Structure 1
Amino acid sequence: MLSLPYETLRLGVIGMGGFGLFATQHFLQVPDTQLIAIAGTFREQSQQAARRFKADILETPEELASRDDIDVVYLATPPSLHYQQALLCLNHGKHVICEKPLALTPDQGREMLALAQEKGLLVITNLMQRYNPMIGRVQQIIKRNLLGKPLHGYFENYASDEGLSPSHWFWNREISGGIFIEHGVHFFDLFEYWLGSGHVVGAQRVLRPGSGLEEQVQATVRYENDVLVNFYHGFTQPGRLDRQELRIVFEHGDITLEEWVPTRLKLRGIVNEEQMQQLLDIFPGAGFDISAVYGGPDRKQRGRHQDFEAFQKIELHFGHETDKQHLYGELLRNFFTEQSDYLRGRIDKRRSTEENGLRSLEMAHQASLMAQ
């Protein structure tokens, strides 16, 4: 476990674009965090943020990395810059919080992690999905075996490209790494959080006619216990049609989550009395409908050539009132709080570690190579 000898965590930010500002504002809500300096390319936005938080504006990342009054650097720059900028900061003795992905290639990521370990520093990827209480509730269902074993899953991401002009760096694989690496790492990691380690067994992509831009990708990952999960990402939609759906199918039911930062959940299943009570404990205040009640010999069920008993078939709904943007901010605060507590020596275990950032990058890189 790492330990810092001071009470205030002094933050530097490289890259104060739209998301950099959004995340930084949430990080600074964590007690005893102070913004010291900003180095970035969006000069007007950087200057406005600097005035608000009484921080310095610096011309280059090198100036920021060499400051003695900065402890942690947050990298909110395009993926192709993460490797170089993280090494710069680590070599100046700074902890690094890096936007996803960790780097463009696993070799780069491994070098970053090795240097951080050598120097006793943190280099963590912002995989904030792990801090969503909804994600934790699904994990409890899996751990407690409330719907039987997971069998299959999918994530379908019909994303908007309305704000991504043809010249945006997102489409340039040399800068972004492509859709799997720039965007898909979140979801490879999310299912690994639930299901254990995975490896890619197939992947494809579709290029936009007339432009050659990679606009749609899909992959199949085999997780532990032979659970196959399909991932689809397509950046093709008007903003008003941007939508996502995630599902896990179990032996005795299924769970569906909506939004890429999941805010709503629907559970369908056949359960016994004890399982029903545990579900209500996990989802306090949930609404549920009873589709069927079983008694006598009808309580005996059979699936996968195995017998079990159930007393009713249910459909449970949870979380419909949560605002996605507000939840997103909460996850950023939860992520930064845990990493801060780890740095200060208050905790010795984290939901998201350096290895998670590397593992998600390895899967994304494997999928990207297979798809070409």
Structure 2
Amino acid sequence: MRTYNWAIMGLGQIAHKFAESLTLLPNARLHAVASRTGAKAEEFAAQYGVPHAVGSYEELLTVPDVDVVYIATPHTEHYANTLLCLRAGLPVLCEKPFAVNTVQAQEMRRVAEEKGVFLMEAFWTRFFPAIHKALEVVASGTIGEVKHLAADFGFVAPYNPEGRLFNPVLAGGSLLDIGVYPLFISKLFLGEPQAIRAVATLADTGVDVNCAMALAYASGATASLFSTIAAQTDNQCILYGTQGQLHLTGRFHAASGIMLKLPNQEPQVIPCEKQGFGYHYEAEHVQQCLTQGLTQSPLLPLQFTQELMQQLDAIRQQIGLRYPMESIGTA
């Protein structure tokens, strides 16, 4: 079994979780890390026993034997960082949100397809065993036809105008940071909406603190989604069907199982595997794709990611959120 050499670009909190998660895969090795500063890269490398540490993203391209790059930089850098790697022929797993807007996402996809290089959004939720189980149960008709999906994600973030969550220069706000999760899960189970309506509460900096979304689908289903950085929510997802309900247990974006509520029956809990943080599930899938010579994931294709980005753009237009780095007409 081939061992894949991973590199991480951007060494913040999520990079640490990804590095720890890779240790759960017997055929994965953290081979290189890149930061804006050599000292930070060296410190990270020492912590995880990484043989190569570089102090610029460009220098990562010179490290030999890198098989795939995980991009964990801030939202606003995903576009440039991904293109840098793709143009060098390096496969990319890029953190969510994939880009700041659809124009960027389309260009990232175009370059990946032109170069024939693997590219996938790092939407780890998609690869949890609980999500696979939930999709299987819904497809089997156990809860009947899904008529409504409700999902929320929220936590309390101290107000810091310069911090990444509140700073428009860093594409801040609840929507791009955590609102993408309810939006993602609704798309996964219900497909593309026919209509989207959104309202938001904005911070003094102009980014969204609360964002409430209502979606309608051709199937007759609807969805109510919510994200906030001003309150702790239950972080849950419930699918309401004509013959019962399905709840993702635990925090839905990193679910530990499902619970079925069927008429005249006791709730049935089906636990699913959840090891560590769970980032290794997406990493394992990427390696499977690379082994098969694929340039896209069959479970999370670039078309899905692009459509999700279009939904984010539509919502931002409705709530009046535009970022300073966006030129006229790009979102």
Both proteins in one fold, TM over 0.5? yes
8 Å CA contact retained: 1:46, 1:57: yes
Show CA shifts across 1:39-59 (max 9, x none): 114766532331232322212
Show CA shifts across 1:319-338 (max 9, x none): 5798xxx64623x2121111
SS at match of 2:230: strand
Q: Residue in 2 aligned with 1:221? A: 215
Return the alpha-carbon distance in structure 1 between the equivalents of residues 62 and 281 of structure 2. 28
Return the alpha-carbon distance in structure 2 between the equivalents of residues 224 and 189 of structure 1. 17
Q: Residue in 2 aligned with 1:366? A: 314
Return the alpha-carbon distance in structure 1 between the equivalents of residues 21 and 190 of structure 2. 29
**Residue identity matched to 2:266:** E
1:122 is the counterpart of 2:118? yes
**Residue identity matched to 2:240:** V
8 Å CA contact retained: 1:16, 1:42: no
Q: Residue in 2 aligned with 1:74? A: 70
Higher radius of gyration, 1 or 2: 1
Show CA shifts across 1:224-248 (max 9, x none): 41311111111113xxx55312211
Q: Residue in 2 aligned with 1:339? A: 286
8 Å CA contact retained: 1:245, 1:259: yes
Cα displacement (A) at 1:60 = 1.0
Structure with greater helix share of residues: 1
Percent of aligned pairs sharing the same letter? 19
Q: Residue in 2 aligned with 1:25? A: 20
1:37 is the counterpart of 2:28? no
How big is the alpha-carbon RMSD for the aligned residues of Structure 1 and Structure 2?
Answer: 2.6
8 Å CA contact retained: 2:32, 2:51: yes
Alignment partner of 1:203 out of 198, 205, 217: 198
Alignment partner of 1:64 out of 60, 65, 82: 60
8 Å CA contact retained: 1:253, 1:267: yes
Return the alpha-carbon distance in structure 1 between the equivalents of residues 90 and 272 of structure 2. 40
Alignment partner of 1:246 out of 237, 250, 271: 237
Show CA shifts across 1:114-159 (max 9, x none): 1111111011111111222222222223211122211111112232
Q: Which runs of 5+ in 1 are unaligned?
A: 1-5, 271-312
Cα displacement (A) at 1:175 = 1.8
1:350 is the counterpart of 2:298? yes
**Residue identity matched to 2:304:** N
Return the alpha-carbon distance in structure 1 between the equivalents of residues 133 and 271 of structure 2. 15
Cα displacement (A) at 1:169 = 1.2
Return the alpha-carbon distance in structure 2 between the equivalents of residues 80 and 109 of structure 1. 12
8 Å CA contact retained: 1:148, 1:251: yes
Return the alpha-carbon distance in structure 2 between the equivalents of residues 187 and 45 of structure 1. 33
Show CA shifts across 1:263-305 (max 9, x none): 35443222xxxxxxxxxxxxxxxxxxxxxxxxxxxxxxxxxxx
Alignment partner of 2:187 out of 187, 192, 207: 192
Cα displacement (A) at 1:26 = 1.2
Return the alpha-carbon distance in structure 2 between the equivalents of residues 246 and 178 of structure 1. 21
8 Å CA contact retained: 1:17, 1:42: no
SS at match of 1:145: coil
SS at match of 2:181: helix
Compare 187-196 and 121-130 and name the one that shifted more. 187-196
**Residue identity matched to 1:150:** V
Q: Residue in 1 aligned with 2:323? A: none
Compare 217-226 and 347-356 and name the one that shifted more. 347-356
Cα displacement (A) at 1:344 = 1.3
Cα displacement (A) at 1:200 = 4.7
Cα displacement (A) at 1:315 = 3.0
Return the alpha-carbon distance in structure 2 between the equivalents of residues 47 and 140 of structure 1. 44
Cα displacement (A) at 1:262 = 2.5
**Residue identity matched to 1:72:** V
SS at match of 2:26: coil
**Residue identity matched to 2:314:** Q
Show CA shifts across 1:169-193 (max 9, x none): 1222332353222322233222222
8 Å CA contact retained: 2:286, 2:297: no
Return the alpha-carbon distance in structure 2 between the equivalents of residues 194 and 165 of structure 1. 35
Q: Which runs of 5+ in 2 are unaligned?
A: 321-331
SS at match of 2:59: helix
- Number of residue equivalences: 316
**Residue identity matched to 1:354:** L
Return the alpha-carbon distance in structure 1 between the equivalents of residues 205 and 107 of structure 2. 35
Return the alpha-carbon distance in structure 2 between the equivalents of residues 216 and 362 of structure 1. 20
